[in-house]
């Protein structure tokens, strides 16, 4: 039997926190690589133009290029962040869904209700934990 996903946001705090962490790490990488490349490229251009005697023109040219680059980088950064957040939520559903089902099953067991074994999708995480809880369910329920 194939288990279909009904909701992507099962555990909103967990999924949003981990998506935020993923975006934070992505931003650090983008900033470090972008700043390094920017610094090296424009210092090389300025050094070359200064050697040729056109430093004032080079400064104005770099100033106008900076404005264009920052505007384009800003747009690309927003697109990348939205895309990363969406992928993070979708990917983290493999973690949040099983945690939600395991937590719900344990709460039902504590309340004394008859519970069904935990079934997870093919790509979900925590399968070994679900199997251990399923064995516990078998032993606890007649």
Q: Could you list the residue range(s) of the whole structural domain that residue 57 is in?
A: 12-140
Is 4 contained in some domain?
no
In the block, tokens 């384009």 appear at 72
pLDDT at 8: 65
Is 21 contained in some domain?
yes
Is 38 contained in some domain?
yes
pLDDT at 107: 92
Quick: pLDDT tens for 14-28: 777 777 787 888 888
Is 120 contained in some domain?
yes
pLDDT at 54: 64
Is 2 contained in some domain?
no
Are 125 and 94 in contact by the 8 Å Cβ rule? The answer is yes
Is 5 contained in some domain?
no
Is 6 contained in some domain?
no
pLDDT at 135: 92
The more confidently predicted of residues 132 and 11 is 132
What is d(CA 20, CA 88) in angstroms, rounded to the nearest whole number?
A: 9
Is 1 contained in some domain?
no
Per the structure, how many domains does the chain have?
1
Q: What is the mean pLDDT of the chain?
A: 78
Say whether pTM exceeds 0.85.
no
Quick: pLDDT tens for 48-75: 776 666 666 666 777 777 777 777 777 8
| Position 5 pLDDT exceeds 60 | no
> DSSP labels for 95-138?
HHHHHHHHHHHHHHHHTT---PPP---TT-S-HHHHHHHHHHHH
């Amino acid at each position: 039997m194939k288990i279909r996903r009904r909701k992507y946001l099962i555990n909103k705090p967990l999924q949003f926190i981990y998506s935020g962490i993923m975006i934070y790490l992505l931003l650090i990488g983008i900033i470090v690589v972008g700043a390094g490349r920017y610094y090296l490229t424009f210092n090389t251009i300025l050094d070359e133009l200064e050697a040729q005697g056109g430093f004032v023109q080079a400064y104005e040219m770099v100033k106008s290029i900076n404005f264009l680059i920052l505007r384009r980088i800003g747009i690309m950064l927003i697109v990348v962040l939205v895309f990363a957040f969406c992928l993070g939520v979708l990917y983290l559903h493999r973690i949040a869904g099983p945690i939600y089902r395991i937590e719900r099953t344990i709460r039902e067991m504590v309340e004394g209700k008859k519970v069904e074994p935990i079934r997870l999708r093919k790509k979900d995480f925590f399968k070994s934990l679900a199997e251990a809880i399923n064995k516990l369910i078998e032993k606890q329920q007649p």
